[in-house]
Amino acid sequence: MCGIVCYIGSKEATPILIEGLKRLEYRGYDSAGIAVHDGKNVHLVKTKGRISDLEIKISNLQIRGNMGIGHTRWATHGEPTDINAHPHTDEDGNVFVVHNGIIENYSILKRRLEKEGIRFRTDTDTEVLAHLISYYFDGDLIEAVRRALADVEGTFGIAVIHRESPGRIILARRGSPIVIGIGNGEHFAASDVNAMIRYTANVVPLEDNELAVVTRDDFNIMTIQAAKIVNRSITTVDWKAEEAELNGFPHYMLKEIYEQPEAVNNAMRGRIDPAEAVPKLGGIEPVWDDLKRCKNFIIVGCGTSYHAGYVGRYIFERLTDLDVDVELASEFRYRKLNFPSNTFVLALSQSGETADTLAAIREARRKGAKLLGIVNVVGSSIARETDAGVYNHAGPEIGVASTKNFTSQLVVLTLLALLIGRHHNLSYTEGAEAIRELKALPGKIKEMLFQANHIQAIAEKYYRCNNWLFIGRKFNYPIALEGALKLKEVSYIHAEGYAAGEMKHGPIALINPEMPTVAIVPQDDMHEKMINNIQEIKSRKGPVIAISTLGDREVKKIADDVIEIPRTLDYLYPILTVIPCQLLAYYCAVLLGRDVDKPRNLAKSVTVE
């Protein structure tokens, strides 16, 4: 859960590394550092804190060089301190390593190296790598890295430079992403394409157990174990650098909330055929014959992606004849899995690199399931390891709290369910209605965004409350979970999401005048039951913020505050009801002075278990 960036070419490396680290800061931001090779020596600068702290430290130094590596950290082993920041070195200051992942056997390796007289300076697992590479180095850096990694158990994405080996950077990967950026007379590498998108859109991802040697003019990929040369084609990323800029917004989270009409539209672009009322999903074609015969479908994801999958289960049950389950990816592989024949497992992940989700689909494959993926990042691990899938095309999402990726996931899930449903028992009329309402969603989201000032005023009324509840039923129960998660993530307010019918089984004991409840109550077939739940809360003097369908007078009579949403189909309401939840969380966080885009203890892409 850290960010790596590398550069080798003819330009000064330091400003490129700093810019790349800023673009990766959402992956980790408790410490940062760079190591720059000037052809003779390596200049190392690192510090606790943000990239801005590193910039201040560098401004007082003269660091020149056309090759370097950088790192921004989210701590796993060792507290965030100057000494524990990356890059890490060997005792003599020859080897410099940045690392994302966890070395599981580092204690064993550390004891072995200490017996050889090697002294350790940090509390990190990464320092073991630097000492191991130095231990094996006899002039051949590639071989030293290969031998060191052969001793390692765990996950890694690494970049290595050596004082005596100018002109090349060694990269390697097992479980943590590393992508090479292809330039003209220069090359880049990073754990995320966002770090180098300003300079190149042409990338080559490393796969697990691969090593790459990168120079200013070339790169070569080989297997770590056998040093067998690997040929891989270049992929072009469809993002533009300006998409990752703030463009006048105070925070990425708010910008990405406002990008949702476009993100939803992009998720549908070229995929809807109104004439046949059947979506076109080219990425599903490799498994389409099996998918048409599928009876058992399992959706896995973590955090916000899990909540999207939870909504997806209701959508699939509504539109298809499949038996559908949704599972937390972090728990999935620890269960005893017994799949019926022709079971499909669908993985949801924005980055396509989520460690728990990757582990889940690998276990599912071992047990005989076929794999699908819905991811946002082209060429990511989940995209490569699944049998087929669909890209979100939501564009880069920088804010740690996912917003536009969630709604685009819901759109893609709906398209997939509609495609399968139309080959089951779903009628043309129902298919045409779904497509018509899907196409109307971007406009309806824009309508809701015009209410931002109203939602901000509601946040101003309640942001000092220390505890919140979010309740919903059926399609909107997962939105209650997601709304509570968003509030917790960015404002640090304690919040819980509940199925509204569960209130009387315990949570209603918490209701008091200081505890607001966000009730998600659109005019669907759960409307009357939700009204009853609101009445139960109001009778106990609990304040209610209702998210309801435009013109619902019944809700207006009983709720303290109302946020209205346009009317749509029952299974599409979650794409609308989540928007007020996102904005409430955002405005509460701003009012409390939180660092909205970089909430404490969190990182965007969770690449460690």
Per-residue pLDDT, 461: 97
Residue 112, both tokens = 């072995």
Give the alpha-carbon dihedral of 93, 94, 100, 101, to 10 degrees: -90
Say whether pTM exceeds 0.85. Answer: no
More confident call, 531 vs 504: 531
Tell me whether strands 210-214 and 169-174 are parallel, antiparallel or unpaired. antiparallel
Residue 502, both tokens = 């569960």
Q: How far apart are CA 530 and CA 535, in angstroms?
A: 9
More confident call, 161 vs 235: 161
The ranges assigned to domains in the chain are: 3-237, 246-442, 451-609
* Residues facing residue 182 across a β-bridge: 187
Res 579 pLDDT > 60: yes
Residue 429 CB partners (closer than 8 Å, separation 6+): none
Give me the CATH topology for the region 451-609. Rossmann fold (3.40.50)
Q: How far apart are CA 370 and CA 139, in angstroms?
A: 46
Compute how many other C-beta atoms are within 10 angstroms of the C-beta atom of residue 509: 10
- In CATH, which of 3.60.20.10, 1.10.10.60, 3.40.50.300, 3.10.270.10 is domain 3-237? 3.60.20.10
Do residues 249 and 261 lie in contact, with contact meaning Cβ atoms separated by under 8 Å?
Answer: no
Out of 57-66, 67-76, 168-177, pick the least confident. 67-76
Res 402 pLDDT > 60: yes
Res 397 pLDDT > 70: yes
| Residues above pLDDT 70, as percent of the chain | 96
Do residues 355 and 174 lie in contact, with contact meaning Cβ atoms separated by under 8 Å?
Answer: no
Res 591 pLDDT > 60: yes
> 3-state class of 269 per DSSP?
coil
Out of 3-7, 243-247, 495-499, pick the least confident. 243-247
Q: Which of 26-35, 55-64, 323-332 has the highest mean pLDDT?
A: 323-332
Residue 130 CB partners (closer than 8 Å, separation 6+): 88, 89, 90, 95, 96, 97
Residue 346, both tokens = 């669908």
Backbone angles phi and psi of 382, in degrees to 5:
-65, -35
Res 325 pLDDT > 70: yes
- In CATH, which of 3.30.70.20, 3.30.420.40, 3.40.50.10490, 1.10.3720.10 is domain 246-442? 3.40.50.10490
Q: Give the mean model confidence (pLDDT) for residues 228-240.
A: 85
Amino acid at 66: N
Out of 39-48, 235-244, 261-270, pick the least confident. 235-244
Q: Give the mean model confidence (pLDDT) for residues 22-39.
A: 83
What residues act catalytically? 2, 604
451-609 shares the fold of 246-442: yes
Residue 239, both tokens = 């993002």
Q: Give the mean model confidence (pLDDT) for residues 389-413.
A: 93
Per-residue pLDDT, 245: 78
Per-residue pLDDT, 604: 58
Per-residue pLDDT, 355: 87
462 sits in the region (left: phi over 0; alpha: psi -120 to 50; else beta) called alpha
Compute how many other C-beta atoms are within 10 angstroms of the C-beta atom of residue 166: 17
Tell me whether strands 202-205 and 88-89 are parallel, antiparallel or unpaired. unpaired
Distance (Å) of CA 279 to CA 76, 268, 389, 440, 566? 43, 9, 14, 16, 24
Q: How far apart are CA 18 and CA 12, in angstroms?
A: 11
Q: What is the mean pLDDT of the chain?
A: 92
Do residues 238 and 369 lie in contact, with contact meaning Cβ atoms separated by under 8 Å?
Answer: no
Q: Give the mean model confidence (pLDDT) for residues 527-537.
A: 95
pLDDT confidence of 379, banded at 50, 70, 90? Answer: confident
pLDDT confidence of 70, banded at 50, 70, 90? Answer: very high
Per-residue pLDDT, 27: 63
Q: Give the mean model confidence (pLDDT) for residues 48-58.
A: 88
More confident call, 22 vs 159: 159
Q: Give the mean model confidence (pLDDT) for residues 273-297.
A: 92
Q: Give the mean model confidence (pLDDT) for residues 567-592.
A: 98
What is the DSSP code (8-state) at residue 103? B
- As a 3-state breakdown, the chain gives helix, strand, coil percent values, each rounded to 5, of 40, 20, 35
- Per residue, the 3-state secondary structure of 282-300, as one string, reads HHHHHHHHHHHHCCEEEEE
Q: Give the mean model confidence (pLDDT) for residues 522-544.
A: 95
Burial of 349 (0-12, 13-18, 19+ CB in 10 A): buried
